[in-house]
Amino acid sequence: MDEFMKLAISEARKGLKEGGIPIGSVLVKDGKVVSHGHNKRVQENNPILHGEMDCLNNAGRIGSYRNTVIYSTLMPCYMCAGTIVQFKIPKVIVGESRTFSGARAFMEEHGVEVVDLDLAECKKMMEDFIKEKPELWNEDIMEL
């Protein structure tokens, strides 16, 4: 596992410790970390502050995203995938997609390369969270 996914996992664990949903993200440009973030929907009472959105918000204005890669511990949802497509981020590397299949096909249909690492660590973190807090998870994915 590379250092960027390790940082994304660290962000997810930080969110979990804060009482939130354990999804972390890292934005890399030209091999260097530009920003990182984690899901803060619960912590900041903000329905759109998913891990990828927090990460991109923390990046600020960086001009072009064409030479970037975004890492996420979980396959992005349609909202985050739409932002990835809109910003023309060419590559997404995810920790897993078994607990949430997300919007992989949508991103690929729009030219985004999606790499699913299928990491046991990411899968276990989400499975444990979903088991412990199903109502919070269902709220996050709009399945209430």
Give the CATH number for residue 35: 3.40.140.10
pTM (global) more than 0.85: yes
Would residue 44 show up in a list of annotated catalytic residues for this protein?
Answer: no
Mean pLDDT by 10 residues, the chain (144 residues): 95 97 97 97 95 97 95 97 98 97 97 98 97 87 72
Measured between alpha carbons, how far apart are the two ends of the chain, in Å? 34
H or E element that contains 52: helix 51-59
Among the listed residues 18, 52, 132, 143, the single catalytic one is 52
Number of structural domains (the chain) is: 1
Domain holding 109, by residue range, is 3-141
